[in-house]
Amino acid sequence: MELVLFDLDNTLLSGDSDFEWGQFLIDQGVLDRHFYESENLRFYEDYKAGRLDIHEFLGFALAPLARFPREQLVLWHTQFMERKIRPIIRARGRERLAHHLGQGSLCAIITSTNSFVTAPIARELGVAHLIATEPEIKDGRYTGRPEGMPCFREGKIACLERWLHAQGKHWGAFSASWFYSDSRNDIPLLEKVTHPVAVDPDDTLKQMALERGWEVISFA
């Protein structure tokens, strides 16, 4: 069996679900446009430049979850899926997912974006397994803080290995491992798999992929 991992944002999607969720809440009028839009853009630029402070960002991104009841958040997310996410799902990404699933591979989406935002997207894509940053919940409400290690950069490897352990598996159980990603932030995990694939990569990842002979493809 092969292990096949897909990044989500700007890989399977033509956009960033974390960024789009923030913009959706701004459009709903529940977040202050001037402050949240400027901060959302700032963090997104930091992410693309490879300088994101993940803990500062999560303090910003998870805070709105703590302000509203989960029932309201779920209702908004249904609208978010329809307006923001379904239009940016990449058909070629769906096809590659279907190819690996059809081969009987163990497929998972692995993303730094929190599981509240991404779990419905994984279901929409037909992927049963999601490895993501987990938002903390107490007394049935989100606290606005992450639970455990963020699934980001080297943290993706730690989160993946913890997930594999929970599945009763380990790296040696697989005949091959794949990871599809667009981002320089995912280089630590790309270096660990046997088949790293750069998907519409940023400049830093593209250069490294070309230097190391990694596959470079487009889902756009």
For 200, which DSSP code? S
Residue 172: per-residue pLDDT: 86
- The pLDDT assigned to 215 comes to 98
**Do the Cβ atoms of 122 and 154 come closer than 8 Å?**
no
**7 is annotated as an active-site residue:** yes
Domain span at residue 133?
2-217
d(CA 123, CA 127): 6
Catalytic annotation present for 202: no
Candidate list 9, 18, 186, 200, residue with the active-site label: 9
182 vs 10: CA distance, rounded Å: 6
The pLDDT, as a whole number, for residue 210 is 97
State which residues of the chain have pLDDT below 70: none
Largest alpha-carbon pair distance within the chain? 50
* Tokens at 113, concatenated: 């974006």
pLDDT at residue number 171: 87
Specify the pLDDT at position 194.
98
For residue 63, the domain's CATH number is 3.40.50.1000
pLDDT tens digits, 141-179: 999 999 999 999 999 999 999 999 999 998 889 999 999
Q: How many domains does the chain have?
A: 1
* pLDDT for residue 47: 92
